[in-house]
């Protein structure tokens, strides 16, 4: 007995369609030859004398077209037929391309109808429902209806303004060129971008400048932007909740998820909360907070808290100061390590008032169409805690604006958090995913791997973020075997027909038996080619989409020239920057 996989059942289902396709193709070619020969005869001066469209005429067309139009020269007839065939081929090519894509779709994956809500018509309907400003717009621009995702069976897909996205891609797999840049270029409202490289800035700066002002927070000179703004880090610390959130960004950026719940981390977070809140109440600056950390016996923050009626917080800080010297010093040392980036005067200058510097107002930003770039390097002493705090301040301002507007921003704020695990470790980011989409804040987080997220938010937090994301984009270069196996199981199985052929003295017998086979194995997921991605949308089977990098769009030549100019400006600024001794 021999056994092999056979497409016999699929062939049986396709046979009637193949017959119809052959008949249709024969009819179209015959009609093209009939029309082309007639037009050729007319152009040759033989007049309009179309022959009857019969089987006999078709037979003559195949053998000797000149006998059908005897009054016309043969070259004219053949020329007309050739032109008609060429026109027919040009008209049929797009149709054949779409049919080929539909026929070759892997069994078990999403079909075009499954993704209707992301196709142009479906995306437009959803946009009108989510954005009152589009209700009376007859044909809204495609940039107004959603965030670009990619192509599927010839249809350009767009996520809605209530979707929250999570993307995983290895370096140089297109996460910037095919996700971050297209989304930023199309955004109709304010855009917030985090990155630790200059590429997304060089590409989007010029187009985004047409929408509004560019705010660049670049304390570590990623794009060598001159400082034109300062951000009041302690403004949100005017409330205890705001001070606690501010402290959490410094703790999260400095301490791994596994150690974040120990005594020293929790105590350091509480101490920073008290000091930040005291500084905000006393209208003190960041340098004052650093002085308090350097001198644990300082009573000024306790007095400020008591004067403002924050007795509980003041009492907690006082207990810490009056505790055992070793314990107190350990807590203050841990807190000092968390805010180590503030010791760098170059970094601290971006959160300190200065002459000719504009103060960045998060509430004004979310109400406009400006663009904010937040840059940092990764590692100890980097500005990552400030980027996380800055980003969170804008997000909280957006939530407040959405609540004032009846629950949703219009136009939406688009946060694109590239390298989020390295430079924007907002501790409760997984929780924010569960409701930001409903407020017109379609959060987009781009990571290099699932493990990278686990390192910052832990297994529980990363699972929560994964579950809350309504759109997951999995690109090339996913080398984590456990994660690839998990995705393989989520995509599921499909039924195949296994044919068994046996031979005996009585003759040959064929047995067809169905069985389940994995649609995408872990190896298939790992081997996804660059330029493609798996799209996992809530309630829909997985789909393989073709990404659309910005340089393949119609305006790519003009965008390329603008990008070159911005790169040249960065180079000139870098050369003018005096190297440290």
Tell me, yes or no, whether 93 lies in a domain.
Answer: yes
Tell me, yes or no, whether 81 lies in a domain.
Answer: yes
Which DSSP string do the residues of 158-221 spell out, in sequence order? EE-TT--EEEE--TTSSTIIIIIHHHHHH-SS-EEEEESSSHHHHHHHHHHHTTSPEEEE-TT-
> CA-to-CA distance for 348 and 290, rounded, in angstroms?
11
Give the phi and the psi of residue 235 in degrees, each rounded to 5: -60, -40
Tell me, yes or no, whether 370 lies in a domain.
Answer: no
Tell me, yes or no, whether 32 lies in a domain.
Answer: yes
Reply yes or no: is the peptide bond before residue 323 cis, omega within 30 of 0: no
**What are the strands, taking DSSP E only, across 287-432?**
358-359, 371-375, 414-418
Tell me, yes or no, whether 11 lies in a domain.
Answer: yes
Tell me, yes or no, whether 210 lies in a domain.
Answer: no
pLDDT of residue 470: 95
Tell me, yes or no, whether 261 lies in a domain.
Answer: no
| Helical H segments across 413-512, by residue range | 420-423, 429-436, 450-468, 481-491
What's the pTM?
0.81
- Three-state secondary structure call for residue 109: coil
> CA-to-CA distance for 393 and 366, rounded, in angstroms?
11
Each of the 581 residues of the chain gets a pLDDT tens digit; together they read: 333 444 334 444 456 666 777 777 777 777 877 777 777 777 777 777 777 777 777 777 666 776 777 777 777 777 777 887 788 878 777 665 555 555 444 567 888 889 999 999 999 999 999 999 998 888 899 899 999 999 998 899 999 999 999 999 988 888 899 999 999 999 999 999 999 999 999 999 999 999 999 999 999 999 999 999 999 999 999 999 999 999 999 999 988 887 887 899 999 999 999 999 999 999 999 999 999 999 998 999 999 999 999 999 999 999 999 989 999 999 999 999 999 999 999 999 999 998 899 999 999 999 999 999 999 998 888 999 999 999 999 999 999 999 999 889 999 999 999 989 999 999 999 999 988 988 999 999 999 999 999 999 999 999 999 999 999 999 998 889 999 999 999 998 867 666 677 777 777 776 666 667 888 899 999 999 999 999 999 989 999 999 999 988 888 899 999 999 999 999 999 988 765 54
Query: Which of 463, 467, 466, 382 shows the shortest CA–CA distance to 425?
Result: 382
> CA-to-CA distance for 411 and 188, rounded, in angstroms?
6
pLDDT of residue 42: 76
**What are the strands, taking DSSP E only, across 107-173?**
147-152, 155-159, 165-168
Where is 510: in which H helix or E strand? strand 507-518
pLDDT of residue 210: 94
Q: Which domain holds residue 85?
A: 2-103
Beta strands 493-504 and 2-5 are: antiparallel
pLDDT of residue 8: 39
pLDDT of residue 145: 94
Tell me, yes or no, whether 316 lies in a domain.
Answer: no
Inter-residue contact 543 to 107 (CB < 8 Å): no
Q: What domain count does the chain have?
A: 1
470 DSSP 8-state letter: S
């Amino acid at each position: 007995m021999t056994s092999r996989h056979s497409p016999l059942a699929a062939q049986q289902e396709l046979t009637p369609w193949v017959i119809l396709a052959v008949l249709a193709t024969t009819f179209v070619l015959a009609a093209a030859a009939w029309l082309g020969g007639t037009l050729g005869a007319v152009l040759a001066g033989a007049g309009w004398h179309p022959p009857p469209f019969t089987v006999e005429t078709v037979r003559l067309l195949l053998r000797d077209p000149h006998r059908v139009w005897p009054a016309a020269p043969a070259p004219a007839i053949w020329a007309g037929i050739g032109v008609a065939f060429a026109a027919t081929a040009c008209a049929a090519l797009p149709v054949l391309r779409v049919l080929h894509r539909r026929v070759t779709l892997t069994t078990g994956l999403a079909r075009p109808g499954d993704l209707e809500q992301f196709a142009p018509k479906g995306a437009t309907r959803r946009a009108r429902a989510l954005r009152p400003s589009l209700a009376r717009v007859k044909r809204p621009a495609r940039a107004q209806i959603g965030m670009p995702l990619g192509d599927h069976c010839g249809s350009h897909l767009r996520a809605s303004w209530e979707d929250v996205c999570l993307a995983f891609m290895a370096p140089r797999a297109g996460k910037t060129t095919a996700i971050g840049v297209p989304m930023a270029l199309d955004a109709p409202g304010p855009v917030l971008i985090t990155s630790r490289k200059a590429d997304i800035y060089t590409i989007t700066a010029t187009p985004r400048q047409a929408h509004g002002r560019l705010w660049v927070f670049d304390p570590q000179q990623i794009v060598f932007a001159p400082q034109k703004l300062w951000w009041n880090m302690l403004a949100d610390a005017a409330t205890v909740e705001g001070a606690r959130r501010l402290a959490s960004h410094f703790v999260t950026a400095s301490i791994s998820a596994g150690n974040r719940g120990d005594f020293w981390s929790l105590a350091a977070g509480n101490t920073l909360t008290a000091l930040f809140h005291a500084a905000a109440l006393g209208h003190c600056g960041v340098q004052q907070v650093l002085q308090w950390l350097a001198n644990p016996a300082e009573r000024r923050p306790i007095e400020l808290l008591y004067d403002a009626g924050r007795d509980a917080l003041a009492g907690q800080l006082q207990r810490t100061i009056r505790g055992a010297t070793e314990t107190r010093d350990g807590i203050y040392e841990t807190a000092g390590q968390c805010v180590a980036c503030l010791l760098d005067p170059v970094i601290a200058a971006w959160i300190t008032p200065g002459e000719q510097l504009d103060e960045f107002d998060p509430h004004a930003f979310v109400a406009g169409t400006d663009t904010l770039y937040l840059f940092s390097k990764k590692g100890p002493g980097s500005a990552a805690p400030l980027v996380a705090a800055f980003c969170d301040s804008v997000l909280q301002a957006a939530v407040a604006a959405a609540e004032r507007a009846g629950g949703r921003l219009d136009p939406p704020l688009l946060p694109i958090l590239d390298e989020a695990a390295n430079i924007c470790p907002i501790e409760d980011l997984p929780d924010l995913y569960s409701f930001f989409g409903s407020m017109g804040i379609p959060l987009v987080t781009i990571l290099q791997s699932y493990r990278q997220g686990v390192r910052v938010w832990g297994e529980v937090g990363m699972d929560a973020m994964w579950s809350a994301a309504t759109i997951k984009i999995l690109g090339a270069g996913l080398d984590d075997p456990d994660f690839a196996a998990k995705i393989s199981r989520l995509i599921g199985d499909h039924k195949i027909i296994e044919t068994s052929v046996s031979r005996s003295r009585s003759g040959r017998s064929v047995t067809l038996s169905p069985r389940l086979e994995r649609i995408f194995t872990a190896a298939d997921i790992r081997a996804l080619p660059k330029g493609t991605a798996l799209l996992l949308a809530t309630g829909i089977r997985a789909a393989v989409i073709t990404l659309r990098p910005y340089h393949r769009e119609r305006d790519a030549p003009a965008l390329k020239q603008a990008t070159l100019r911005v790169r040249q400006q960065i180079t000139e600024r870098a050369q003018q920057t005096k190297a440290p001794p």
